[in-house]
Chain A
Amino acid sequence: MIDLHFFVEIIPTLLSGLPLTLQLAGLSIAIGFALALLLALAQQGNHRMLVWPIRAFVAVFRGTPLLVQIFLIYYGLGQFRPTLQAVGLWWVFREPYWCAIIALSLNTAAYGSEILRGAIQGVPRGLVEAASAFGMTRIQTLRLVVLPLALRQAIPSYSNEIVLMVKGTSLASIVTLMEVTGIAQGLISQTYRAVEVFVAAGAIYLTINFAIISALNALETWLTPYRVRA
């Protein structure tokens, strides 16, 4: 029943989509993280004019499906082609690749900013007071005390978010990008062998996710040398 020969045939085909999957995931996670950190920090000041728009952004991107976001950016903004051409941004919104990256980045920034906001608020107040008693400036306190602790605290939740993002890159196949899932779908409709293709493509995703989780676990352990793990 299980045909090894068939696996040997499809795995290289599926792997040809891996660079695109990794690119989409890597770029959007990096951009999303930078944006998430910015949004989380901007909310620390409690300036209403800053906090409210950020809250709205987060609520919208967390409350709607990623697929709708991708379609809104790719097909929806495509409707404003003359305007986008006039401001010189058409080359970005013309490409499904950049539209997928934008949607994925904004989506993970919304989720990530909530994780980081919680982690920053979780840093004990006494440490911040101690830092200011040492005569540290606000930037120094942030850089030397708050962020190192908060980022380490955020690792477990953030690794969940990263796994969700890797899974999320599969939606790019719906806007014609041939990453692993897109190729898998093509293979299924050519060969009519859904189970084998699912197993092979699924194994690729599980391997990526396993590598990410192990790396982040190792990072967390390395950053907390004094904590003896059970």
Chain B
Amino acid sequence: MTDALHILSLGKGGWGGALLLAAGVTFALSVLGFLLGALFGAVAASGRLSTRVVPSRLAKGYGTVFRGVPDLLTIYLLYYGGSIALTEIGKFFGSAGFVGLPTFATGVLAIGIISGAYQAEVYRGAYLAVDPGQFEASKALGLSRFQSLRLVIIPQLMRHALPGLGNVWQLVLKDSALISVIGLVELMRQSQIGAGSMREPFVFYLAAAALYFLIAAVTGSVFRYGEARAWRGMVHA
């Protein structure tokens, strides 16, 4: 036990600092991926809600593929697919070796694409949950389409979307561990490095699990706070 504490200490010879730093990378990766996913999700949701056939089909296809295919495959597609393309370009300019994509950016993109597919469903459901009278009322007030979205619809939509978004966020945080397979030193990868070098896999993976759990718990309460705020002044079941 004292051994474990020594290994995980923040001081000299301890891995605590490296693990905390890697947890920071995990957090940054997840937040940026989630935000990019919000963008993809919003676009896909508006596609799904559109009455036109092409956007609606495209958005549906996007959701079906990235919610049905293992996230690991998507990550391999982006990393190797991108790197192979980059290597070809490198060859053209006279570079010889394999050119890898930057792992952090690839991770953010992968999480963005995957979580966007889930977020699209959340936004679509939330949009449909907004009372149709609100659209009519904002039109009656003379608001432009953009104004009514920004001032009337989106604030109400977020009330319905927040619980679902909280679930997607938890999914994103845990999915971010998969980015370790392309070599980004986030929490999972750093624990692997530590486990290998100290020959103490149990201690390191337990520490990683605890840090993931902590991030999930703290951020989960942020979502609950946001939900309470979004519903303030409203009576709801």
Contacting B at CB under 8 A, from A152-175, are 163, 167-171, 173-174
Q: Is A71 an interface residue (CB 8 A)?
A: yes
- Residues B73 and A202 in contact, CB atoms below 8 Å apart: yes
Partner of B205, one of A60, A71, A192: A71
- Residues A173 and B72 in contact, CB atoms below 8 Å apart: yes
Q: Is A72 an interface residue (CB 8 A)?
A: yes
- Residues B73 and A206 in contact, CB atoms below 8 Å apart: no
Given A163-B68, A205-B68, the answer on whether A194 and B81 have CB atoms closer than 8 Å is yes
Contacting B at CB under 8 A, from A41-67, are 59-60, 62-67
Q: Is B42 an interface residue (CB 8 A)?
A: no
Partner of B72, one of A65, A71, A171, A189: A171
**In the complex, A165 Cα to B29 Cα: how many Å?**
24
- Residues A174 and B202 in contact, CB atoms below 8 Å apart: no
- Residues B195 and A188 in contact, CB atoms below 8 Å apart: no
Question: Which of A28-36, A77-85, A140-148 contacts the other chain?
Answer: A77-85
For residue B71, which residue of chain A has the nearest CB?
A167
- Residues B188 and A67 in contact, CB atoms below 8 Å apart: yes
Most buried by A among B69, B84, B180: B69
Chain A 201-222 per-residue mask, 1 if CB under 8 angstroms from chain B, else 0: 1100110011000000000000
CB distance from B186 to the nearest CB of A (A): 11
- Residues B217 and A63 in contact, CB atoms below 8 Å apart: yes
- Residues B206 and A60 in contact, CB atoms below 8 Å apart: no
Q: Is A181 an interface residue (CB 8 A)?
A: yes
A167: chain B residues within 8 A (beta carbon): 68-71
Q: Is B134 an interface residue (CB 8 A)?
A: no
Given A64-B209, A67-B178, the answer on whether A77 and B76 have CB atoms closer than 8 Å is no
B74: chain A residues within 8 A (beta carbon): 198
Q: Count B-side interface residues using an 8 Å CB cutoff.
A: 40
A209: chain B residues within 8 A (beta carbon): 68
- Residues A64 and B174 in contact, CB atoms below 8 Å apart: yes
Partner of A194, one of B67, B84, B176: B84
For residue B180, which residue of chain A has the nearest CB?
A67
B170: chain A residues within 8 A (beta carbon): 62-63
- Residues A64 and B212 in contact, CB atoms below 8 Å apart: yes
**In the complex, A171 Cα to B180 Cα: how many Å?**
12
A171: chain B residues within 8 A (beta carbon): 72, 178
CB distance from A89 to the nearest CB of B (A): 15
For residue B81, which residue of chain A has the nearest CB?
A194
Q: Is B231 an interface residue (CB 8 A)?
A: no
A206: chain B residues within 8 A (beta carbon): 64-65, 68-69
7 smallest beta-carbon distances between A and B, as pairs: A170-B70, A194-B81, A65-B177, A76-B202, A75-B201, A198-B77, A65-B174
Contacting A at CB under 8 A, from B214-232, are 216-217
